[in-house]
Structure formats: C-alpha cells, structure tokens
C-alpha cells in the first residue's frame, strides 16, 4: 500500500469520525447543557461547528500540500476533483482557515476558564462578540489565501518537473506560483508563526489556572480534589492539541526550505491537522459530565453518577470565599 493510499484512507477515517463526533457534541451542547454552562456552551458549540466543517472539507479536499521554492502546489484526492481545480482551492482555503480559527478558539477557551476563576461568567452576548473578534484573523487569512490561486496548468508543469512519474489529472492540481506577493506572504507567515504565540499563551494561562486551583484545592473535600485532578488532566491534554497543527507547520517549513522533499512529508502537513477535529470533541464528551451522562443515557448504557464525577464543566466555576471556606460553584 503506497503512502497516497494510506493518506486517503486516513483522511476519510478522520473526516467521517470528525463529522460524527462533532454532530453528537453539537446536539448535546444545544439540548443538554445545564443552565450553569450557559455561557461556556456557546464556546463549545462554536468549537463543534468549526471542527464539524473542518472535517467536512477534509473529505471534500483531501489535500496534499507541496511547497516548491516560491510556489505551492495543492494536490487533491477528495470529491472536489469532480468539479475542478478552483473548487479544490477554495475548499482548501476554507478548511485551512477553520484550522487556524480553531487555534484562536482554543486560546479563547483557556482565557475564559481563567477569567471565571475570579469573576462571574460573562453574558452570552459577550461570548459571541469575543468569538467574532477572534475569528477576524482567520477570516483575513482565508480572504488572502483565496486571492492567490494560479492557473492549474502552470502549476501542473512545475509539479511534474518535481514528480515526473506521478500520474495525476489536471482537476487534482491547483496552487499558488508566487508566494512572495503581500497576500501570499501574509498567509504563509501567519500559518507558520501564529501557532507560536498562541501555544505560548495557552501554556501560560494553563499554568495560571493550575496555580489558582492549587491554592483552592487544599481547602476542599477529597471528592472535590478528585474533580480537580481530572480537570488538570483535561487542561493538560487540551493544551497539547496545538502541537498537531505545529507539526504540520514544521513539515511545511522543512519542505519549503528544501531540507526534505517526499510525498509522505507533504501528506503529514494536512494529516497532522485533520486529527484535531476528532480529538477535540472526545475531550468534551468525556470531561463534561452532563454531556457524558446524556450520551450514556442515549446509548442505553447505565451511567455511574457520583458526587466526584469529574468534568470540564466544573472548571467553568467561580472561586468564592464564603464564611472563610473556599468553595467552587458551577
């Protein structure tokens, strides 16, 4: 089995599972969110929609990105090839900007969690405005990327010089022949550099959350301490998600610099990002106890409910001091 076949199978599996899991999460967030989760559920719904669409476009495009000096070729293996190169290019632009937006959403999510440790939960309208604000960089990214499409025939000529034995058709090929234009330079640099400050910010905020919780946990019962232990596990796992996006960026940079050149590396650029929409909903479905209990009830599995049932919901809390006792409320 060759690397391209493996890539197509992998993209199909991640795309289907991403659609399935995010559809479940979307349903639960809409209909099973408790009132205490009202504001944070907006962020979860936003995550689910973003990851759901990213999974859909993963199936539509299945793009292998080939950096070639000052040009970038996009070789598609998805449904878009039946409609032409422009559909594949636009589809990839949308998919890429959803992955970029997902990184900003994760930063917003961590910022929210840190904020509500000392403050009351913000209004739903405020959360919606913040989501719209964080979407602006991704929207600009998409607009700039879409503006850079080159003629598929010209991209095909350059690509075949690099891979003369690759049997692909014109409908599979699209790309940008000049990445030195202002818009193309912005999209490339934004894709390469944006994960760095975002990841650093997430790790810093995570550390602040852990410190704040450690101050509080000493005064809590063992059951609540167990809750916090699982909370920290959830935060740690979620903080690692940008690493998958960073892996794709590193592979892109290595190919672009001419250090390595292989179809497998080119597949990893997209493949590393496709797994994020699959892992993200799993975290919410497992750690948000109202969703987990509802899912168990829907599937007919008897849930085990206890007062120490840990969740990511419980970290959407306000730390208060009442009568000298530190308590955590949903």
Percentage, residues of the chain above pLDDT 70 = 86
Percentage, residues of the chain above pLDDT 90 = 38
Tell me how many domains the chain contains.
Answer: 1
With respect to residue 296, please indicate whether it lies within any of the assigned structural domains: yes
Average pLDDT score, the chain? 83
With respect to residue 53, please indicate whether it lies within any of the assigned structural domains: yes
pLDDT at 310 over 90: no
- Averaged over 205-216, what is the pLDDT? 82
The DSSP symbol for 240 reads T
**What are the structure tokens assigned to 77, written together?**
């293996």
For residue 164, the model assigns a pLDDT of 86
Global pTM value: 0.85
With respect to residue 328, please indicate whether it lies within any of the assigned structural domains: no
With respect to residue 326, please indicate whether it lies within any of the assigned structural domains: no
The DSSP symbol for 123 reads P
pLDDT at 220 over 80: no
- Averaged over 259-276, what is the pLDDT? 88
pLDDT at 59 over 50: yes
Distances, alpha carbon 182 to alpha carbons 37, 97, 330, in Å: 43, 18, 47
CA dist 207 and 3 (Å) reads 39
CATH of the domain at 94: 1.20.1070.10
From the CB of residue 218, how many other CB atoms can be counted at a distance below 10 Å? Answer: 8
pLDDT, tens digit, for every residue of 256-267?
777 888 888 989
List the domain range (segments joined by +) for residue 212. 3-321
Given the DSSP bridges, would you call strands 318-322 and 63-68 parallel, antiparallel or unpaired?
Answer: unpaired
Range name among 32-36, 53-57, 195-199, 278-282 with the lowest pLDDT average: 32-36
C-alpha angle 150/156/162, rounded to 5°?
A: 120
For residue 320, the model assigns a pLDDT of 37
pLDDT at 241 over 50: yes
With respect to residue 270, please indicate whether it lies within any of the assigned structural domains: yes
Pick from 61, 89, 65: which is nearest to 77 by CA? 61
For residue 231, the model assigns a pLDDT of 61
With respect to residue 23, please indicate whether it lies within any of the assigned structural domains: yes
pLDDT at 228 over 70: no
With respect to residue 190, please indicate whether it lies within any of the assigned structural domains: yes
pLDDT, tens digit, for every residue of 2-19?
889 999 999 999 999 999
């Amino acid at each position: 089995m060759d690397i391209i076949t493996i890539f197509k199978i992998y993209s199909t599996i991640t795309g289907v599972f991403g659609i399935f899991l995010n559809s479940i999460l979307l349903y639960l967030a809409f209909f099973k969110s408790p009132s205490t989760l009202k504001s944070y559920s907006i962020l979860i719904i936003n995550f689910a929609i973003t990851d759901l669409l990213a999974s859909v476009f993963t199936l539509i495009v299945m793009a292998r990105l080939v950096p070639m000096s000052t040009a970038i070729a996009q070789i598609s293996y998805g449904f878009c090839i039946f409609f032409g190169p422009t559909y594949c290019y636009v589809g990839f632009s949308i998919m890429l900007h959803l992955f970029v937006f997902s990184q900003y959403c994760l930063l917003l999510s961590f910022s929210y969690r840190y904020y509500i440790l000392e403050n009351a939960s913000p209004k739903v309208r405020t959360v919606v405005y913040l989501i719209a604000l964080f979407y602006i960089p991704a929207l600009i990214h998409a607009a700039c990327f879409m503006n850079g499409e080159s003629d598929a025939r010209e991209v095909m000529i350059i690509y075949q010089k690099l891979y003369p034995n690759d049997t692909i058709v014109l409908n599979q090929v699209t790309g940008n022949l000049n990445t030195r234009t202002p818009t193309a330079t912005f999209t490339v640099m934004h894709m390469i550099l944006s994960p760095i400050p975002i990841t650093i910010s997430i790790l810093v905020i995570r550390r602040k959350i852990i410190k704040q919780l450690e101050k509080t946990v000493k005064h809590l019962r063992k059951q609540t301490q167990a809750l916090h232990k699982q909370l920290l596990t959830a935060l740690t796992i979620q903080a690692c998600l940008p690493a998958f996006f960073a892996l794709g960026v590193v592979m892109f940079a290595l190919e672009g610099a001419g250090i390595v050149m292989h179809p497998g590396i080119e597949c990893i650029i997209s493949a590393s990002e496709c797994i994020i929409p699959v892992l993200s909903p799993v975290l919410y479905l497992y750690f948000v106890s109202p969703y987990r209990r509802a899912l168990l009830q829907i599937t007919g599995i008897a849930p085990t409910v206890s007062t120490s049932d840990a969740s990511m919901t419980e970290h959407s809390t306000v730390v208060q001091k009442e009568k000298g006792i530190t308590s955590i409320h949903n």
